[in-house]
Chains A and B, each alone.
Chain A
Amino acid sequence: MMIEVEKLVFRYPHSTFTLRVPELSVAEGEKVALAGPSGSGKTTLLHLLAGILLPDEGRIVVGGVQPPRLGDGARRAFRIGQLGLVFQDFQLLEYLDVFENILLPYRIHPALTLTAAVRERARQLARETGIDHRLSHRPGRLSQGEKQRTALCRALLPQPLCLLADEPTGSLDPAAKTRVLEILFEQCTRARATLLMVTHDTGLLGRFDRAIHLAEVSR
């Protein structure tokens, strides 16, 4: 299994919200949609899997590693080296051009070394996702679809075992949504990466291997 969660409990301080996930698993190479109403804890679960948040109780295993048991430095290294994170609002750095945004993971952690091969892979990813003509442009000049494709390239560049995507198509128009999703599936298949994607869009669920409804899982 790529992802295993058991008896997970998480509470935000000063909040009545509690996330409970008795059991959840995702197989290697599986493409899974994580659905659920707003406020059900989808993003929280993704952050717990990524080690951004730490659970109060329970066990989380991602790629054979238990992120909560790692120290802060090791957890960061795990996150940047083993996981690919895609956010709904892209979270690109406005002062870097598209190429440098794609290379960003290699600039912010010494666990990743920026080599000529990495640069070439970044160009190749940009070609495959159709943003190679935008490499020298800053995010401010990109369309929403182009921004999301840039964020996708950034997540895929370190060749992660698992891609955690938080509503990556949420702010896209239908055409861009379809294109981004195609690229996401294509790249995950090519890299044999597992995909766990949060989505509100029930129309997209049929395209995944499986859909997990968080409300049902946490019942």
Chain B
Amino acid sequence: MRQVVFLAWQSLRFHRLQSAILIFGLAVTLYLPLAVNGLVARYQASLLQRAGATPLVAGGLGSRFDLVLHALYFRGHVPRLLKMADVQALRDTGYAEPIPLYVRFTARHAPLVGTTLDYFAFRQLPLARGEPLLQLGDCVLGAEVAATLNLGPGDRLLTDPENVFDLAGSYPVSLRVMGVLAPGHTPDDRAVFVDLKTTWLIEGLAHGHSDVTGTNTDANVVLDRTATNVTANAALVEFTEVTAENLASFHFHGDPGDFPVSAILPIPRDEKSATLLRGRYQVPDATVQILVPRGVVEELLGLVFRIKRFFDANAALVGTATAAFLLLVVLLSLRLRRPELETLFRLGCARGLTTRLVAVELTGLALVSAVVALTAAQITWALVSLW
């Protein structure tokens, strides 16, 4: 067999261009379905793992797909907003501990996730560097965001304005980076976490400014002053970053129960509590919907796989066409090589040697093509996971 492999190798090496073309053709045919199937499998596993790790999601009425994608993966449309009163109502049922999320803003294009410290405990997100959120205006970065933006504890991160032409809209706030999360290969890696109150600050529901109640306040700033109220004009500069010096000046306006959240992660005490909680909200006049994310994601993937079946059929067709093409190439090549094979026979080669020679060559080409396709697919998977 060693001699046959030697002869096959010499032949392939001599006909290197033809060999390379065959390897390329085969490798591409193998690579495409391999890469796509691998990507889909990885994507599916990743989606299901996240969904499986989240028992329930609560949110405003509307698309269940939007709500789950928003609450779990921080993607897609912001669903109909809830209020903090809804969070409290959920807590009051006694069936679950709600973790509120407010994901509406971005910082350097990374989703800004307003939540409570419970979220970090629930998702088991350890810090790789720095400290957890301590006060208003602090943020903790996901591992990928920190690496991409080259930021670490002590740095500052400016939130993105909603609309640069809307002067009345939310204005950018400079966040203090407190820590960086350890990489978990989840959507958390690509998010910036702040306290819920910080998102309300960005929303404009809270602000901080210099004291206008004192007697030495610039008279040009004060529009009206009564015994209980001071009205200032637009000349009063609001703070765009929270520091130890101005922290005390930040205050909220309005009823905290009306402050918005975009989703809630209810953590039920047990399975029974989860069922009872879902039952509680399955009433015709409910304004909150509670979903089991795994079911929604599976439904979503079902739609994706229906489309994938078309791709698989296409790949099978291309594979069959390539196999037919290769068969033709092999038959033509055998015809071209007839003098060579005839020489081997005339010299007295061992029985079956010519068949084995051709088989070894084809096997070699197929193996190299498979290795090339697999390597290319792995590179693709690695690149896509980085991206």
Binding site for A on B (CB under 8 A): 3, 6-7, 10-11, 13-15, 339-340, 342-351, 353
Contact = CB atoms under 8 A, between A and B. Distances in A.
Given A93-B340, A95-B15, A108-B353, A79 B10 contact: no
Interface residues of A, number: 32
A96 interface: yes
Interface stretch (A34-42, A99-107, A176-184, A186-194): A99-107
Interface of A: 50, 52, 72-73, 75-81, 83, 85, 87, 91-96, 100, 104-111, 114, 138, 154
Nearest to A90: B343
Nearest to B12: A95
A79 B348 contact: yes
Given A95-B13, A105-B347, A109-B350, 5 more contacts: A50-B346, A76-B351, A92-B343, A107-B6, A154-B347
Contacts of A52: 345-346
Contact of A80 (B6, B10, B339, B349): B349
Contacts of A105: 347-348
B15 A77 contact: no
B348 A80 contact: yes
B5 to A, nearest CB: 10
B349 A87 contact: no
A93 B15 CA distance: 12
Contacts, number: 65
Given A107-B6, A108-B3, A85 B346 contact: yes
> Which of A95, A100, A110 is packed against the most chain B CB atoms within 10 Å?
A95
A110 B14 contact: no
A87 B6 contact: no
A72 B340 contact: no
Contact of B351 (A73, A78, A87): A73
Nearest to B6: A107
Contacts of B345: 52
Contacts of A114: 3
Nearest to B345: A52
A93 B7 CA distance: 10
* Nearest 7 Cβ contacts at the A-B interface: A80-B348, A95-B14, A79-B348, A108-B349, A91-B343, A107-B3, A76-B348
Contacts of B351: 72-73, 76
Contact of B347 (A78, A104, A138): A104
B339 A91 contact: yes
A87 B346 contact: yes
Contact of B349 (A78, A81, A96, A109): A109
25 contacts: A52-B346, A73-B350, A73-B351, A76-B350, A77-B348, A79-B348, A80-B349, A85-B346, A93-B340, A94-B14, A94-B340, A95-B11, A96-B10, A105-B347, A105-B348, A107-B3, A107-B6, A108-B3, A108-B344, A108-B348, A108-B353, A110-B350, A111-B350, A114-B3, A138-B14
